[in-house]
Chains A and B, each alone.
Chain A
Amino acid sequence: FRPAMHGRPRVRTTEEQRAAKAKERAAKVIEYRAAMDDAMRLRQLCQDSLAGLEADERRKNREQLLRVTQALLQANPDIGTLWAARRETLQQIEQQQQQQQQEQQQQQEQQKQQEQQKQQEQQQQQEQQQQQEQQKQQEQQKQQEQQKQQQQQQSDEAIVAQLSNELQLTAACLMQNPKSYGAWHHRAWTLDRLGVSRADLAGELRLTRQFLQRDERNFHCWDHRRHVCRLGGVPASEELAFSDKLLTANMGNFSAWHYRSRLLLAQTDGGLTAQTRKRELDTALSAMFSDPADTAPWAYYRWLMSPPSEPQRLLWLRYLSRNDKSDNTDWDNDENVSSCVLMCLSRPVTKAWLAKLLDIRLLPAGNNGDGCRLEAEDPVPVAAVSGCGSANPAAHLWRLPIKAADGVEVIRVSVGADSTLMSSTVSTAAPGRLRLLPSPTQPSAVDEALRSEQLNLIRQLNELAGDSRQGLLTEAALLPTPAEALPLLDRLAQLDPTRSGAYGHARSRLAVRARLQEAKSEPETLSLAGLGLTALPLMHEFAFVSELDLSDNRLTRLPGQVAGLQLLQTLDARRNRLADADACRPLAACRRLRVLRLTGNPLAEEAAALAELSGQLSERVRIELD
């Protein structure tokens, strides 16, 4: 039997051959159906709950079931229900043997008690033979202990023999079908059943090695090896040595590199030490230098050099007041809400998170104390990133309504706890003023010296080997600033046109990031003009802008997150690729938008589309088409 979907090449056969094959198959089908029916009937019979069957008959049924299922599984190891039948049967056998053992033990206990009674009587009668009797007693006890152990061993051996049979069966199935989920799973179950003390784990590791020699990417086999190592508590250092051997034989063994990454994380509990990182970098580099065309070590190398995840950051705050004459936003109808704080975080959070980790305090003038804590009663997500319409939306940007508070001068907003606490303040005396928190210098567990050392090495390698996809990607990843990486992405797009869309996208991100990092005296006016943007990422970081220049880019549509630009008044989108009203749909949510520039877009030439767009936007928006 060869599973149908592992890639069957087409072969021409003659009519005669076809007919003969058909006959053969028809016979096989009948055989198969008969065997399946048999197996199911036997499985039912094996249920001990069926009354009236003698223990002997049950045993015979079980043995037959094991025989029948063995034959079927060797032909098709993917019938899960047959493996399950075997597991049940083995469990029943084990239970029965345990029962027998218990009964025997009970019998022995009884015998022992009877013996003891007899001996006591004899003692009363013949005191001179006390010593002899005592000796006899001890001997008998010893014998009984031995017997007990023997029986334990026997039943143990019996179970081990059964389970070894399962190992043989699964091995036979796997030789033919090394990718059978059912067979691997059953083998793992068998090993678990044997347990650390009885399983031949060294033999098991050898077996996985053999299968990996046939196909080094067989993930079933890799998963099995991981299972065996967990079961046997094999130390990570031994497995690292194993992956070393595999990589020495073939540096491109992707699965071995992956395995290494898991082992290291397990060994160092999530964070690599500087020493470990250096050692691994050297391993990867020697692979990369000896064959730069091999992709595997590059991916691993980039992982080693990547900085840790960015923690949650408080990006900016803005205090808005109903009394502020310059604020022409529509306020909610709740008269009690006189002001609000707009707060933006680097990673989206939910209301539940805010309830736990958001702290707002009102500090009246002159009061240097803790101030009075305000419950963030009903924070409103602005442009939720997920769970829109559900009970639990997540957003970067939140609107925190604040009820009237006389004499309050300073509002302190804190998020996070303990070491991750970030805090900033806004003054009620200056409504509308943006409080932009300074972005921390690039955090890296990868220190600056290491980064620049590695950058030099990679540059050397790229010079030796010439432009390559992996080389350019890696060099770009090691550069200290996003602006420096831009020309590399251009070269990548030329070198690897299949992925030019992806590179354009990554380039847009770097370009926006570079622009944002430039110091600005007036952050509310942002220019992203002329960056060749094909996408508009990181919008939550500049969601406070009132003037945004997106001209001379390559945007085909304005993404949904544009709805989060709640303070946007002027948008210059000239000379992009906006084709229809739909491309600008998110602007309808920008309540303060007053001016929209569209010259140089396909949309600007289509009267009907413009009319549609006009209809979508508020009548306060002026569309300029000079």
Chain B
Amino acid sequence: LTSQMSNISAGDSSSSDDEGRSRRCRQQQQLPDMEKFSAQLTKYCRRVLTCLPSHCSGYDQNRLVFAWFAISTMDMLDRTQELNRQEIIDWVYSLQILPSSGRPVANCGFRGAPLLGSPADPHLDAENPLPYDASHLTMVFAGLGILLMLGDDLQRVDRDAVLSGVAALQTPAGCFTAGKFAPESDLRFVFSACVSCYYLNDFTKIDVDRSVAFLLACQTYEGGFGQRPGSEAHGGSTFCAIASLKLLGRLDSALPADSRQRSRLLRWLCQRQHRGFHGRPYKDDDSCYTFWIGASLAALGRANLIDRSALVEFVFSCYSGMDGGFSKYPGDSADPLHTYLALAGLAALRLEDERLEPIRPEANITERAHLHMLALHRAAAASAASH
């Protein structure tokens, strides 16, 4: 969901190795049995968590998101207990940006990596804040997500600071910028903002009405949603819009069940299937849209409208036992983003209930982690009531 990742969503329908790819596609993809599949994937995720190949060096400042891809994948396999949970939790907390006299609350949240040399102790860091060190909305979402998945109780999260940091990034139009030093604004960050507020169960600091207005302005004549008003409808931004509306509790009033906008949207989503899903008309099927389109339909309660077997077949044609992960197109190399999104799409559509823990589509997290989140919310409400 970071700027680089989303380049995938722009979709590159040209390939430099078309012949090789089609040759590999013709080889039958055999689905591995559950144990082997789970073992291969886990091995891949562990690799992602320990050491990435050098061509990923450009993603240095996005380590938190990469960790999130790997941990979320393992969460779907119900194998996070094999990780050193406490170590990871502590690492996530080390990326928290806390307020202090030298750092206004508007800069607070989470960073993606200690790129600028911030110390591992966030309190120490707060005493001597580095200039240009600021929160990034996608990292807030990824950080909180990892903590929930690993069963942390969020006690060390400075809720007020994080939420103020999110609110500070809202634009007058209702959109959100990515961070203080990342002024681009589009629906990716509206989603990151909404889901962060959802995890912390507090929407009071942001202007919900304005965001809903901005979201609706992004719907195009085709029925899908673009990244900004005026932009072309696109699978990734469509998910961000639907999920944001749902998390804000406004989906059914903004897009009423029998309205034309809703039917156009559903039709647009259904049209995005050849065998797998793609993000825009005329694009090749791409495994990451398994989630962007699939979870959109699931969030709208319409998972039943697609051709399920064709989708599953396509997704697994993007799997490579040798790599242990999923690639964008059949025959390419695996990468962490497509590995997570291909599986999460199936999990959100409940197509692989025997292999995968289901995903709550609009919250982009497993049902198990979601239940844990709800329990934390209830506990917080109870203790607030007793005071």
Contact = CB atoms under 8 A, between A and B. Distances in A.
A181 B7 contact: yes
Given A84-B181, A538-B258, A7 B328 contact: yes
Contacts of B251: 386
B81 interface: no
Interface stretch (A253-261, A325-333, A428-436): A253-261
Interface in B24-78: 53-61
B54 A25 contact: yes
B61 A10 contact: no
B117 interface: yes
Given A4-B335, A226-B230, A386-B250, A78 B273 contact: no
B305 A220 contact: no
B312 interface: no
B234 to A, nearest CB: 7
A194 B131 CA distance: 28
Which of A25, A80, A185, A254 is most buried by chain B, counting CB atoms within 10 A of its CB? A80
B281 A295 contact: yes
A505 B302 contact: yes
Given A5-B7, A254-B280, A394-B253, A219 B231 contact: yes
A78 B58 contact: yes
Given A9-B17, A9-B20, A347-B259, A29 B281 contact: no
B61 A81 contact: yes
B68 to A, nearest CB: 15
Contacts of A5: 4-5, 7-8, 328, 335, 337-338
Interface in B311-337: 327-329, 331-333, 335, 337
Interface in B222-239: 222, 226-228, 230-234
Interface residues on B, range: 35 or more
A258 B222 contact: yes
A309 B307 contact: no
A181 B15 contact: no
A350 B17 contact: no
Interface in A282-312: 295-296, 299-300, 303, 306, 309-310
Interface string B280-304: 1111000000000000000000101
B222 to A, nearest CB: 6
B380 interface: no
Nearest to A28: B54
Nearest to A473: B267
Contact of B282 (A10, A217, A303): A217
Interface string A357-392: 000000000000000000000000000011100100
A537 interface: yes
Given A5-B335, A10-B333, A252-B282, A386 B184 contact: no
Contact of A223 (B228, B263, B281): B228
A258 B307 contact: no
A32 B57 CA distance: 9
Given A4-B56, A84-B182, A254 B281 contact: yes
Contact of B230 (A36, A79, A262): A262
Which of A28, A222, A310, A348 is most buried by chain B, counting CB atoms within 10 A of its CB? A348
A310 B260 contact: yes
Interface string B180-196: 01111000000000000
A540 B260 CA distance: 16
Given A5-B337, A299-B281, A40 B116 contact: yes
B131 A254 contact: no
Contact of B283 (A8, A84, A217, A500): A217
A219 B227 contact: yes
A254 B250 CA distance: 30
A537 B220 contact: no
B305 A499 contact: yes
Contact of A219 (B16, B59, B232, B253): B232
In the A-B complex, list the 9 residue pairs whose CB atoms are closest, starting with the nearest.
A9-B17, A386-B252, A394-B253, A25-B54, A385-B252, A501-B305, A502-B270, A498-B307, A181-B3
6 contacts: A43-B131, A81-B181, A84-B181, A182-B184, A261-B221, A347-B259
Interface of A: 1-10, 25-26, 28-29, 32, 36, 40, 43-44, 47, 76, 78-81, 84-85, 177, 179-182, 185, 215, 217-220, 222-223, 226, 252, 254-255, 258, 261-262, 295-296, 299-300, 303, 306, 309-310, 347-348, 350, 385-387, 390, 394, 497-502, 505-506, 509, 537-538, 540, 561
Given A7-B12, A8-B332, 17 more contacts: A5-B5, A10-B333, A25-B54, A40-B132, A78-B4, A79-B61, A81-B181, A84-B132, A222-B231, A258-B221, A261-B220, A385-B256, A387-B250, A498-B274, A501-B305, A502-B305, A538-B258
